[in-house]
């Protein structure tokens, strides 16, 4: 995938094909993604960190930062906009080019899915942290296929309609496709992927036409995909908790101030999707990715602002009509404010657990915290059942 020309002039990109050893030996000959700007002066900090995948010399296994890296400093007066927006401190932020899911999941850093699980149940998070497994459902498999089809990050194939994998020839074809890294779906699923993309193209054409009539720029969704950074993986260190975090954004478009995530769902109507946002933590995902992308120089992704104004969710309905609807969670919405509080509470709590676990000799990083939780979270006393008044009223009303 072609990268923005502005990026090539400013940053060192880390190819996913580069081995871990070679990455450790790479020197930052251009301006690093670890570029930050202080409120009163523009400070370019060329750090001693190298663009390695996973731990650097000043980090434990995905947990807390041990000590701040050294840096050299050059300053110039900051503009009014920089004083307002560029208030970042050093975060060891690193972006990876075309990193496959297998390598991304292998990074020991904490992602938004793990954080949501920790907020819901620290015990479940600890178990899954030490016993990683990736269960896939039919809905998840289709979602993966559609992401690859729409974003162009993978090849999606299917047998002709009416054929099955019962024959030896077709089964052999499937095995060959999987060996090549292609995604195999049914003919019906591939047809649904086509209809979803066609509906997106229709919206692009309609928006462009309306823009020409009104003299305002239309939204070319297809062009946004083609020119943006797709399935972009990155890591950074949270400056408050010291924890190492990671993300993989579906789409970071150029020239706009928002991020994009692609969703497949049962309904694109407003109320069901709003419920899905809270039930599945889309508002937390939005704020987590906003925080991650803001660690980088905007030129890295061809953007004009460091911090995104929100995240758009392009929702596609898994029906024959394959309707779609874009929604947005803006940074000033109540849900975003709630998400920021939840994220900060979770990271700060986990940071304390990591420190306590390391002091107690459970090891280092997130794994130490997980081991301590599993070791200590066992009931020793019987608790009485407590009934709220509304529970008893409901029981009386229904005749129990």
pLDDT tens column, 372-400: 999 998 889 999 999 999 999 989 988 76
Looking at residue 90, what is its pLDDT? 52
Higher pLDDT, 244 or 5: 244
On the question of pLDDT at 225 being above 50, the answer is yes
Looking at residue 178, what is its pLDDT? 94
Residues 118/127, Cβ–Cβ less than 8 Å: no
Mean pLDDT to the nearest integer, 203-230: 94
Counting residues of the chain whose pLDDT is more than 90, the rounded percentage is 68
In the chain, where the domains are located: 152-227
Decide: helix, strand or coil at residue 118. helix
Average pLDDT, the chain: 82
On the question of pLDDT at 68 being above 80, the answer is no
Mean pLDDT to the nearest integer, 292-317: 94
Looking at residue 217, what is its pLDDT? 86
Higher pLDDT, 135 or 310: 310
Comparing CA positions, the residue from 307, 296, 310, 340 lying closest to residue 81 is 307
Alpha helices in the chain (DSSP H): 5-10, 20-25, 80-85, 101-106, 112-120, 122-130, 138-151, 168-179, 187-214, 221-227, 270-280, 282-293, 334-359, 365-376, 389-397
Q: Could you give the angle at which helices 112-120 and 282-293 cross, rounded to 10 degrees?
A: 140
Looking at residue 15, what is its pLDDT? 52
Looking at residue 72, what is its pLDDT? 30
On the question of pLDDT at 361 being above 70, the answer is yes
Looking at residue 54, what is its pLDDT? 39
Q: How far apart are CA 134 and CA 264, in angstroms?
A: 19
Looking at residue 136, what is its pLDDT? 81
Report residue 63's pLDDT band, with 50, 70 and 90 as the boundaries: low
On whether the pTM is more than 0.85, the answer is: no
Looking at residue 399, what is its pLDDT? 73
On the question of pLDDT at 337 being above 80, the answer is yes
On the question of pLDDT at 340 being above 90, the answer is yes
């Amino acid at each position: 995938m072609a990268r923005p020309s502005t990026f090539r002039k400013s940053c060192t990109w880390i190819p996913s094909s580069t081995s871990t050893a070679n990455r450790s030996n790479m020197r930052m000959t251009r301006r690093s993604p670890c570029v930050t700007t202080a409120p009163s002066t523009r400070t370019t900090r060329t750090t001693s960190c190298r663009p390695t995948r996973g731990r650097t010399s000043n980090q434990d296994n995905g947990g807390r930062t041990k000590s701040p890296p050294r840096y050299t400093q050059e300053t110039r007066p900051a503009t009014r906009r920089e004083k307002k927006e560029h208030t970042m401190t050093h975060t060891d932020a690193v972006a990876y080019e075309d990193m496959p899911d297998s390598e991304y999941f292998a990074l020991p850093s904490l992602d938004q899915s793990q954080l949501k699980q920790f907020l819901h149940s620290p015990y479940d998070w600890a178990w899954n942290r030490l016993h990683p497994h990736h269960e896939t459902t039919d809905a998840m498999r289709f979602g993966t296929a559609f992401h690859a089809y729409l974003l162009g990050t993978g090849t999606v194939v299917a047998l002709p309609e009416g054929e099955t994998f019962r024959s030896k020839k077709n089964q052999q074809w499937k095995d060959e496709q999987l060996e090549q890294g292609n995604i195999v779906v049914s003919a019906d699923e591939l047809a649904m992927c086509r209809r979803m993309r066609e509906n997106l193209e229709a919206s692009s054409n309609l928006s462009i036409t309306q823009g020409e009539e009104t003299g305002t720029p239309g939204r070319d969704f297809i062009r946004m995909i083609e020119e943006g950074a797709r399935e972009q993986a990155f890591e950074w260190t949270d400056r408050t908790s010291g924890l190492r975090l990671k993300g993989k954004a579906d789409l970071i478009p150029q020239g706009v101030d928002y991020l994009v995530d692609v969703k497949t769902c049962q309904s694109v109507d407003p109320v069901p999707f709003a419920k899905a946002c809270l039930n599945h933590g889309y508002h937390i995902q939005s704020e987590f990715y906003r925080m991650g992308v803001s660690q980088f120089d905007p030129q890295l992704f061809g953007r004009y602002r460091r911090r995104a104004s929100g995240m758009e969710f392009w929702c596609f309905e898994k029906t024959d009509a394959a309707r779609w609807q874009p929604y947005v969670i803006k940074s000033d919405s109540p849900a975003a404010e709630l998400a920021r509080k939840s994220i900060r509470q979770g990271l700060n709590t986990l940071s304390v657990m990591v420190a306590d676990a390391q002091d107690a000799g459970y090891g280092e990083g997130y794994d130490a915290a997980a081991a301590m939780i599993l070791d200590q979270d066992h009931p020793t006393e019987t608790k009485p059942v407590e009934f709220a008044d509304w529970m008893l009223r409901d029981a009386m009303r229904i005749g129990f």
